[in-house]
């Protein structure tokens, strides 16, 4: 069954701030709308902005010298598209791409650094977002090296649905896109997706993928899904994953 909806009008990390701290940010925040495939930041390019999604999903991609990509983390409205380590880095560590049309609050990195000097609550929120990214990076590294594609794809579908806060995902228009995210061949995704459809865990249509049986899909996913969800629950109590359990 589709999951219960929650309000989508704001970013949860920003919503966690006291009104006075949010007011310090407000005059520097600008709401932008981006279409599917829009690039928020390029790997190895200057870091100009930090983004706080209101809805939708951002993929963080590692890009090889020959242009191949692999998703290493994803961010919904429970987090921020910010540096993995610290704000005073000169270049972006990863490429960030909007997976669907979405709205975000954007702030210049220089302005954010100024507000950080006055707001411990903002520092706590950003630390939690960064630690959440590091958790994803670690879990994805282990998962990609140890687990078969069927379990990895099941996990990826569940986590994507959690970030989007819906079990009907327009993000998955092509299996080629998913193959690039997982770092596997498209034919492999086609084969594994067929198995998931055969047991009616999902329906993979032309323009969307729908999770039909979440409980079954969870049994087919690797243990990384439940492990990361529990760790994120502790670290980011406002993450949308929590609202779904």
Q: What is the CATH number of the domain that holds 57?
A: 2.60.120.10
Of 123, 157, 191, at which residue does a domain stop?
123
Residue 67 confidence (pLDDT) = 83
Q: What is the pLDDT of the chain when averaged over all its residues?
A: 85
Provide the number of structural domains found in the chain: 2
Question: Coil, strand, or helix at residue 217?
Answer: helix
**pLDDT tens, position by position, 87-115:** 656 678 899 999 889 999 999 999 999 99
Does 3 have pLDDT greater than 50? Answer: no
Which pLDDT band holds residue 174 (cuts at 50, 70, 90)? confident
**pLDDT tens, position by position, 115-173:** 999 999 999 999 999 898 998 988 888 888 889 999 999 999 999 999 888 999 876 55
User: Do 109 and 43 belong to one domain?
Assistant: yes
In a domain, 68, yes or no: yes
In a domain, 167, yes or no: yes
User: Do 66 and 111 belong to one domain?
Assistant: yes
Residue 83 confidence (pLDDT) = 76
Q: Which helix (H) or strand (E) holds 185?
A: none
User: Do 97 and 45 belong to one domain?
Assistant: yes
**pLDDT tens, position by position, 48-92:** 999 999 999 999 999 888 888 888 999 999 899 987 666 656 678
In a domain, 6, yes or no: no
Determine the Cα–Cα distance for residues 230 and 225; give it in Å rounded to an integer.
Answer: 9
Q: 221 lies in which domain range? A: 143-243
In a domain, 179, yes or no: yes
Nearest residue to 62 via CA among 114, 136, 126: 136
Determine the Cα–Cα distance for residues 134 and 156; give it in Å rounded to an integer.
Answer: 17
In a domain, 128, yes or no: no
**pLDDT tens, position by position, 161-170:** 998 889 998 7
Does 19 have pLDDT greater than 60? Answer: yes
Of 123, 153, 169, at which residue does a domain stop?
123
Asked if 83 contacts 17 with a C-beta cutoff of 8 angstroms, the reply is: no
User: Do 77 and 115 belong to one domain?
Assistant: yes
What are the two backbone dihedrals, phi and then psi, of residue 38, each rounded to the nearest 5 degrees? -65, 140
């Amino acid at each position: 069954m589709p999951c219960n909806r929650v309000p989508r009008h704001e970013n949860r990390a920003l919503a966690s701030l006291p009104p006075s701290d949010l007011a310090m940010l407000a005059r520097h925040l600008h709401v932008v709308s981006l279409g599917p495939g829009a690039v928020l930041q390029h790997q190895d390019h200057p870091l100009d902005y930090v983004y706080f999604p209101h809805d939708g999903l951002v993929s963080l991609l590692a890009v090889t010298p020959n242009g191949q990509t692999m998703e290493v983390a994803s961010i919904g409205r429970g987090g921020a598209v910010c540096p993995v380590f610290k704000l005073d880095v000169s270049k972006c560590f990863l490429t960030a791409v909007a997976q669907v049309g979405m709205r975000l609050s954007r702030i210049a990195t220089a302005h954010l650094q100024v507000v950080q000097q006055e707001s411990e609550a903002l520092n706590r929120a950003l630390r939690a977002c960064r630690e959440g990214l590091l958790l994803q990076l670690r879990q994805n590294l282990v998962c990609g090296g140890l687990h078969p594609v069927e379990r990895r794809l099941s996990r990826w579908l569940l986590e994507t649905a959690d970030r989007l806060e819906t079990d009907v995902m327009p993000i998955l228009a092509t299996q080629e896109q998913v193959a690039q995210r997982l770092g596997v061949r498209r034919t492999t995704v086609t084969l594994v997706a067929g198995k998931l459809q055969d047991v009616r865990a999902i329906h993979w249509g032309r323009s969307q993928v729908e999770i039909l049986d979440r409980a079954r899909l969870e049994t087919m996913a690797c243990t990384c899904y439940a492990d990361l969800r529990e760790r994120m629950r502790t670290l980011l109590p406002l993450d949308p994953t929590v609202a779904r359990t």
